[in-house]
Protein backbone atom coordinates (compact mmCIF):
# COMPACT_ATOMS: atom_id res chain seq x y z
CA UNK A 1 0.00 0.00 0.00
CA UNK A 2 2.91 2.34 0.72
CA UNK A 3 4.20 1.64 -2.79
CA UNK A 4 0.82 2.62 -4.25
CA UNK A 5 0.82 5.85 -2.27
CA UNK A 6 4.29 6.67 -3.58
CA UNK A 7 2.91 6.66 -7.12
CA UNK A 8 0.14 9.19 -6.45
CA UNK A 9 1.42 11.55 -3.73
CA UNK A 10 4.59 13.04 -2.28
CA UNK A 11 6.38 11.53 0.77
CA UNK A 12 4.83 14.03 3.20
CA UNK A 13 1.29 13.27 2.03
CA UNK A 14 2.08 9.56 2.09
CA UNK A 15 3.21 9.71 5.72
CA UNK A 16 0.16 11.74 6.69
CA UNK A 17 -2.03 8.99 5.22
CA UNK A 18 -0.05 6.16 6.80
CA UNK A 19 -0.34 7.74 10.26
CA UNK A 20 -3.92 8.91 9.86
CA UNK A 21 -4.94 6.22 12.34
CA UNK A 22 -3.63 8.47 15.11
CA UNK A 23 -6.04 11.31 14.33
CA UNK A 24 -9.08 9.67 12.70
CA UNK A 25 -11.41 8.48 15.46
CA UNK A 26 -13.06 5.85 13.23
CA UNK A 27 -9.75 4.35 12.16
CA UNK A 28 -8.30 4.55 15.67
CA UNK A 29 -11.28 2.69 17.16
CA UNK A 30 -10.96 -0.03 14.54
CA UNK A 31 -7.21 -0.41 15.11
CA UNK A 32 -7.50 -0.35 18.90
CA UNK A 33 -9.84 -3.32 18.87
CA UNK A 34 -7.14 -5.57 17.40
CA UNK A 35 -4.15 -3.77 18.89
CA UNK A 36 -5.44 -4.02 22.46
CA UNK A 37 -5.78 -7.78 22.09
CA UNK A 38 -2.14 -8.01 20.97
CA UNK A 39 -1.06 -5.93 23.97
CA UNK A 40 -3.12 -8.11 26.28
CA UNK A 41 -1.24 -11.21 25.12
CA UNK A 42 2.14 -9.48 25.47
CA UNK A 43 1.36 -8.56 29.06
CA UNK A 44 -0.29 -11.82 30.07
CA UNK A 45 0.53 -14.98 28.16
CA UNK A 46 -1.89 -17.71 29.13
CA UNK A 47 -4.32 -19.99 27.31
CA UNK A 48 -7.20 -17.53 27.31
CA UNK A 49 -5.23 -14.56 26.00
CA UNK A 50 -3.70 -16.90 23.41
CA UNK A 51 -7.18 -17.83 22.20
CA UNK A 52 -8.20 -14.18 21.98
CA UNK A 53 -5.08 -13.13 20.10
CA UNK A 54 -5.62 -15.99 17.63
CA UNK A 55 -9.18 -14.78 17.03
CA UNK A 56 -7.84 -11.23 16.66
CA UNK A 57 -5.51 -12.39 13.88
CA UNK A 58 -8.31 -14.41 12.32
CA UNK A 59 -10.51 -11.30 12.22
CA UNK A 60 -7.68 -9.15 10.85
CA UNK A 61 -6.73 -11.61 8.12
CA UNK A 62 -10.19 -12.90 7.28
CA UNK A 63 -12.48 -9.89 7.63
CA UNK A 64 -10.57 -6.60 7.72
CA UNK A 65 -8.15 -7.45 4.91
CA UNK A 66 -10.81 -9.04 2.72
CA UNK A 67 -13.01 -5.99 3.06
CA UNK A 68 -10.08 -3.91 1.79
CA UNK A 69 -9.55 -6.23 -1.17
CA UNK A 70 -13.20 -5.73 -2.10
CA UNK A 71 -12.61 -2.01 -2.68
CA UNK A 72 -9.72 -2.60 -5.08
CA UNK A 73 -11.53 -5.35 -6.96
CA UNK A 74 -14.40 -2.94 -7.48
CA UNK A 75 -11.94 -0.54 -9.11
CA UNK A 76 -10.76 -3.38 -11.33
CA UNK A 77 -14.21 -4.34 -12.53
CA UNK A 78 -14.76 -0.71 -13.45
CA UNK A 79 -11.58 -0.67 -15.53
CA UNK A 80 -9.52 1.40 -13.11
CA UNK A 81 -6.00 0.84 -11.71
CA UNK A 82 -5.53 -2.64 -13.27
CA UNK A 83 -1.88 -2.84 -12.20
CA UNK A 84 -2.69 -2.06 -8.60
CA UNK A 85 -5.58 -4.52 -8.67
CA UNK A 86 -3.19 -7.26 -9.81
CA UNK A 87 -0.84 -6.41 -6.95
CA UNK A 88 -3.77 -6.76 -4.55
CA UNK A 89 -4.51 -10.18 -6.05
CA UNK A 90 -0.97 -11.27 -5.19
CA UNK A 91 -1.43 -9.98 -1.64
CA UNK A 92 -4.81 -11.71 -1.42
CA UNK A 93 -3.24 -14.96 -2.56
CA UNK A 94 -0.66 -14.75 0.24
CA UNK A 95 -3.24 -13.75 2.82
CA UNK A 96 -5.13 -16.94 2.00
CA UNK A 97 -2.21 -18.90 3.45
CA UNK A 98 -2.18 -16.77 6.62
CA UNK A 99 -5.92 -17.20 7.04
CA UNK A 100 -5.64 -20.94 6.51
CA UNK A 101 -2.85 -21.07 9.12
CA UNK A 102 -4.83 -19.32 11.85
CA UNK A 103 -7.94 -21.33 11.09
CA UNK A 104 -5.99 -24.59 11.38
CA UNK A 105 -4.32 -23.48 14.62
CA UNK A 106 -7.76 -22.77 16.08
CA UNK A 107 -9.14 -26.11 14.88
CA UNK A 108 -6.19 -27.99 16.43
CA UNK A 109 -6.43 -25.93 19.61
CA UNK A 110 -10.05 -27.02 19.96
CA UNK A 111 -8.91 -30.65 19.87
CA UNK A 112 -6.06 -30.15 22.34
CA UNK A 113 -7.77 -27.70 24.71
CA UNK A 114 -11.52 -28.41 24.55
CA UNK A 115 -12.07 -26.32 27.69
CA UNK A 116 -11.24 -23.25 25.60
CA UNK A 117 -14.25 -24.00 23.43
CA UNK A 118 -16.90 -24.49 26.07
CA UNK A 119 -20.08 -22.41 26.06
CA UNK A 120 -18.42 -19.46 27.81
CA UNK A 121 -15.48 -19.28 25.42
CA UNK A 122 -17.60 -19.80 22.32
CA UNK A 123 -19.57 -16.74 23.39
CA UNK A 124 -16.29 -14.83 23.64
CA UNK A 125 -15.35 -15.93 20.12
CA UNK A 126 -18.80 -15.06 18.79
CA UNK A 127 -18.76 -11.63 20.42
CA UNK A 128 -15.27 -10.91 19.07
CA UNK A 129 -16.11 -11.85 15.48
CA UNK A 130 -19.35 -9.86 15.68
CA UNK A 131 -17.42 -6.88 17.00
CA UNK A 132 -14.97 -7.22 14.11
CA UNK A 133 -17.84 -7.39 11.61
CA UNK A 134 -19.56 -4.35 13.11
CA UNK A 135 -16.29 -2.38 13.18
CA UNK A 136 -15.60 -3.20 9.53
CA UNK A 137 -19.13 -2.37 8.40
CA UNK A 138 -18.89 0.99 10.17
CA UNK A 139 -15.50 1.64 8.59
CA UNK A 140 -16.71 0.66 5.11
CA UNK A 141 -19.72 2.95 5.37
CA UNK A 142 -17.49 5.76 6.59
CA UNK A 143 -14.84 5.57 3.84
CA UNK A 144 -16.97 4.28 0.94
CA UNK A 145 -20.62 4.92 1.80
CA UNK A 146 -22.72 5.47 -1.31
CA UNK A 147 -20.16 7.64 -3.07
CA UNK A 148 -18.10 5.05 -4.95
CA UNK A 149 -19.23 3.75 -8.33
CA UNK A 150 -20.18 0.06 -8.10
CA UNK A 151 -20.57 -0.07 -4.31
CA UNK A 152 -23.10 1.09 -1.74
CA UNK A 153 -23.64 0.71 1.99
CA UNK A 154 -25.98 -2.26 1.65
CA UNK A 155 -23.49 -4.17 -0.50
CA UNK A 156 -20.75 -3.43 2.03
CA UNK A 157 -22.84 -4.61 4.98
CA UNK A 158 -24.09 -7.74 3.21
CA UNK A 159 -20.62 -8.77 2.09
CA UNK A 160 -18.96 -8.23 5.48
CA UNK A 161 -21.70 -10.16 7.28
CA UNK A 162 -21.11 -12.96 4.76
CA UNK A 163 -17.39 -12.86 5.61
CA UNK A 164 -18.22 -13.04 9.32
CA UNK A 165 -20.42 -16.07 8.69
CA UNK A 166 -17.71 -17.71 6.60
CA UNK A 167 -15.07 -17.30 9.28
CA UNK A 168 -17.33 -18.36 12.16
CA UNK A 169 -18.75 -21.43 10.41
CA UNK A 170 -15.31 -22.60 9.26
CA UNK A 171 -14.43 -23.08 12.93
CA UNK A 172 -17.36 -25.46 13.21
CA UNK A 173 -19.39 -23.01 15.31
CA UNK A 174 -22.49 -22.70 13.13
CA UNK A 175 -24.11 -19.60 11.68
CA UNK A 176 -23.36 -16.11 12.93
CA UNK A 177 -25.76 -14.14 10.72
CA UNK A 178 -28.77 -16.12 9.46
CA UNK A 179 -29.51 -15.29 5.84
CA UNK A 180 -25.90 -14.43 4.98
CA UNK A 181 -24.55 -17.94 4.48
CA UNK A 182 -23.87 -17.44 0.76
CA UNK A 183 -21.87 -14.79 -1.04
CA UNK A 184 -24.31 -12.02 -1.98
CA UNK A 185 -25.38 -12.28 -5.61
CA UNK A 186 -24.34 -8.71 -6.35
CA UNK A 187 -20.87 -9.35 -4.88
CA UNK A 188 -19.85 -12.51 -6.74
CA UNK A 189 -17.26 -10.50 -8.68
CA UNK A 190 -15.16 -10.33 -5.49
CA UNK A 191 -14.46 -14.07 -5.44
CA UNK A 192 -13.75 -14.04 -9.18
CA UNK A 193 -10.99 -11.48 -8.68
CA UNK A 194 -9.72 -13.18 -5.53
CA UNK A 195 -9.55 -16.67 -7.08
CA UNK A 196 -5.92 -17.72 -6.59
CA UNK A 197 -6.31 -20.51 -9.17
CA UNK A 198 -7.40 -18.20 -11.95
CA UNK A 199 -4.66 -18.50 -14.57
CA UNK A 200 -3.02 -15.18 -15.36
CA UNK A 201 0.36 -14.72 -16.98
CA UNK A 202 2.68 -11.91 -16.00
CA UNK A 203 4.16 -10.36 -19.15
CA UNK A 204 7.61 -9.84 -17.64
CA UNK A 205 7.86 -13.15 -15.82
CA UNK A 206 6.25 -15.08 -18.68
CA UNK A 207 4.95 -17.70 -16.29
CA UNK A 208 1.74 -18.48 -14.49
CA UNK A 209 1.14 -16.38 -11.40
CA UNK A 210 -1.62 -18.65 -10.13
CA UNK A 211 -1.59 -21.71 -7.91
CA UNK A 212 -2.67 -24.49 -10.24
CA UNK A 213 -1.84 -27.58 -8.17
CA UNK A 214 -4.47 -29.67 -6.46
CA UNK A 215 -2.90 -28.74 -3.12
CA UNK A 216 -3.56 -25.06 -3.70
CA UNK A 217 -5.10 -23.19 -0.81
CA UNK A 218 -8.43 -21.67 -1.71
CA UNK A 219 -10.46 -19.19 0.26
CA UNK A 220 -13.20 -21.57 1.27
CA UNK A 221 -12.91 -20.75 4.96
Q: pLDDT confidence of 202, banded at 50, 70, 90?
A: very low
What confidence score (pLDDT) does residue 1 get?
57
Is the pLDDT at 201 greater than 70, yes or no?
no
Q: Residue 124: name the closest of 60, 64, 52, 178 by CA.
A: 52
* Range 87-103 average pLDDT: 89
d(CA 149, CA 43): 44
pLDDT digits (tens, 9 = 90+) for 144-183: 999 999 999 999 999 999 999 999 999 999 999 999 999 9
Please state the length of the chain. Answer: 221
**122 touches 114 (CB < 8 A):** no
Percent of the chain with pLDDT over 90: 62
**Share above pLDDT 70 across residues of the chain, in percent, rounded to a whole number:** 85
The residues spanned by each domain of the chain are 25-208
Specify the higher pLDDT residue, 2 or 168.
Answer: 168
* Contact yes or no for 219/191 (Cβ under 8 A): yes
Instruction: Band the pLDDT of 71: cuts 50, 70, 90.
Output: very high
**Whole-angstrom distance, CA of residue 76 vs CA of residue 206:** 22
CATH number for the segment(s) 25-208: 1.10.620.20
Query: What is the separation, in whole angstroms, between the first and last Cα of the chain?
Result: 25
Q: What does the pLDDT look like over 110-134, one tens digit per residue?
A: 999 999 999 999 999 999 999 999 9
Which pLDDT band holds residue 215 (cuts at 50, 70, 90)? very low
> pLDDT value at position 214?
37
Question: pLDDT confidence of 28, banded at 50, 70, 90?
Answer: confident
What residues are labeled active site?
1
Rounded distance between C-alpha atoms, residue 196 and residue 22, angstroms: 34
For the chain, what is the mean pLDDT? 86
Amino acid sequence: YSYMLDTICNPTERNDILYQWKTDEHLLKRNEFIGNLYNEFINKQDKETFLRVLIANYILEGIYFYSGFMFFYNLGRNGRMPGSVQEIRYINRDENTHLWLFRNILVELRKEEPDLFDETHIKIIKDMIQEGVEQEIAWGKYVIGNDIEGLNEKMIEDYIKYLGNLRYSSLGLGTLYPGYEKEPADMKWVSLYADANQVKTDFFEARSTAYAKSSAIEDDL
